[in-house]
Amino acid sequence: MYDAIVIGAGPAGLQAALTLGRMHRPTLLLDSGEYRNGTVRHMHNVVANDGTPPAEFRATAREQLAEYSVVEIRDVGAQTVTRSDGGFVVQLADGETAETRHVILATGVADDLPAIPGLQELWGTKAFSCPFCDGHEHAGRSIGILGPAPRAEHLIGLLGRIVADITVFPVDQPFTDDEVRTLDALGVRVSAEPVLSVAPQDDDVRITTATGAHTVAGVFVASGTMRHRAPFADQLGLQMLPSGSIEIDDFGRTSMPGVFAAGDLAHRASLPGPMASVLLAAAAGQLAAVGVIQSLTAG
Ligand SMILES: Cc1cc2nc3c(=O)[nH]c(=O)nc-3n(C[C@H](O)[C@H](O)[C@H](O)COP(=O)(O)OP(=O)(O)OC[C@H]3O[C@@H](n4cnc5c(N)ncnc54)[C@H](O)[C@@H]3O)c2cc1C
């Protein structure tokens, strides 16, 4: 019986396991090897790690966790989490089961991109969604933003002062006349035709429409959506928020006693959505671990 099973070993789960290890709490950390920033070469806006490859960040975290003998790491997926007497049973993909008093869900989310040929291949290297993470690297250069218009406006507001110029491309359908007027007023170029495909071209990206090709340094996607990487919130019937994330309190507690959540898949009701960042995921992991320790030491 572990004190905690942490499902997920991105920044949230790695930090949760570190905090539990330092408090000598028997912990199992599970990792199926599917990271949100798995294709990213350099992460940014992470103090003391600005530009560090995410894979290096995870490897260093694991090396440091090896100092804590109470933390066991297994590179295996979890399939189900069910309640049992005094805790939870986690069914693993290798056929084994593990029992625990507490679970921390840190399985993150996956990005569903619009079905534009070539976009998936560029994701994380030349195609992005987060101006805080990847805007500065395009300073003084040309970028493309792939619609829809309202979310493109938001990206223009954040990126406009960083990059040299912006061309906004509709996805699927041309922009309406009203949308074109609004985008024009923001001082960006607006493509009349939807994007047909994107492809690498030397160090740039070639965006193809029905009548031509445009070369930009990178593209920002305004139309992606997120989905939970793992099914545990549904399996356990956890309280969800309008954003689609798991509702947690300040210490990562979900609506089910003993189940905590941290990282991109959860946030407090006071926030409009998950604040997707490496540091905030790690901070949430630490808070969830503290929540587990509070539960273990209470009464
Ligand atoms: C293109 C891109 C670029 C980004 N760049 C930056 C950046 O520069 N700076 C920044 O701060 N943030 C960046 N982010 C955001 C950042 O990657 C996330 O906020 C962060 O990774 C969230 O951490 P997490 O621990 O919640 O989830 P993740 O890092 O996604 O980790 C999820 C973990 O859960 C595991 N898992 C999933 N399902 C299972 C299962 N069933 N069983 C076992 N394990 C499972 C996975 O293997 C993984 O270990 C970027 C995101 C994207 C998409």
CA of 102 to the centre of ligand 1 (A): 22
In this prediction, residue 287 carries a pLDDT of 98
CA of 206 to the centre of ligand 1 (A): 28
In this prediction, residue 224 carries a pLDDT of 78
pLDDT (tens digit, 9 = 90+) per residue, 224-275?
Answer: 799 999 999 999 999 999 999 999 999 999 999 999 999 999 999 999 999 8
Q: pTM for the whole thing?
A: 0.97
pLDDT (tens digit, 9 = 90+) per residue, 124-140?
Answer: 999 999 999 999 999 99
Contact status, residue 175 vs residue 147, Cβ threshold 8 Å: yes
pLDDT (tens digit, 9 = 90+) per residue, 55-108?
Answer: 999 999 999 999 999 999 999 999 999 999 889 999 999 999 999 999 999 999
CATH of 114-221, one of 3.50.50.60, 3.40.50.10490, 3.40.190.10, 1.20.1560.10: 3.50.50.60
Using DSSP bridges, classify how beta strands 78-84 and 87-92 pair: parallel, antiparallel or unpaired.
antiparallel
The closest residue, in CA terms, to atom 18 on ligand 1 is: 277
CA of 107 to the centre of ligand 1 (A): 8
CA of 37 to the centre of ligand 1 (A): 5
The closest residue, in CA terms, to atom 15 on ligand 1 is: 277
Residue from 28, 130, 280 whose mutation best tests the ligand 1 pocket (most atoms within 8 A of CB): 130
Rounded to whole angstroms, the Cα distance separating 71 from 63 reads 12
Q: Return the domain boundaries, the chain.
A: 2-111+225-297, 114-221
> What is 2-111+225-297's CATH topology?
FAD/NAD(P)-binding domain (3.50.50)
CA of 43 to the centre of ligand 1 (A): 11
pLDDT (tens digit, 9 = 90+) per residue, 143-202?
Answer: 999 989 999 999 999 999 999 999 999 999 999 999 999 999 999 999 999 999 999 999
- Beta-strand ranges (E) seen in the chain are 2-7, 27-30, 71-74, 78-84, 87-92, 97-105, 109-112, 127-128, 142-146, 165-169, 189-190, 197-201, 204-209, 212-216, 218-221, 225-228, 246-247, 259-261, 266-267
Q: At what angle do helices 11-22 and 54-65 cross, to 10 degrees?
A: 20
Confidence category of residue 299, pLDDT binned at 50, 70, 90: low
Residue from 39, 40, 132, 260 whose mutation best tests the ligand 1 pocket (most atoms within 8 A of CB): 40
- Please work out whether the CB of residue 137 comes within 6 Å of at least one atom of ligand 1: no
2-111+225-297 and 114-221, same CATH topology? yes
